[in-house]
Amino acid sequence: MTIPVNKVKVMAFTFGAIVAALAGTIFAAQQSSVFSTNFSAQTLILIYACLVLGAPAPSPERCWAAWL
């Protein structure tokens, strides 16, 4: 009886997508609109760096490394 790795990966990806969607919905509702001017240049660079560094295996450590 082993853990089905593929199923767990899909579940983790789905859970992450749900959390991101909820966070984006709450942010958009709070701001009443979302434009690129709502973010500072530093925040946009940080988000982009997290996406690039976290692409193979997203982890908080990589995002913190990009932030530092």
pLDDT score at 25: 85
Residue with more model confidence, 50 or 10: 10
pLDDT at 14 over 60: yes
User: Band of the pLDDT at 55, cuts 50, 70, 90?
Assistant: low
pLDDT score at 44: 78
Residue in this structure with the two tokens 């853990």, named with its chain if needed? 3
pLDDT score at 5: 86
Question: Where are the chain's structural domains?
Answer: 1-34, 36-68
Report the alpha-carbon distance of residue 17 to residue 58 in Å, rounded: 12
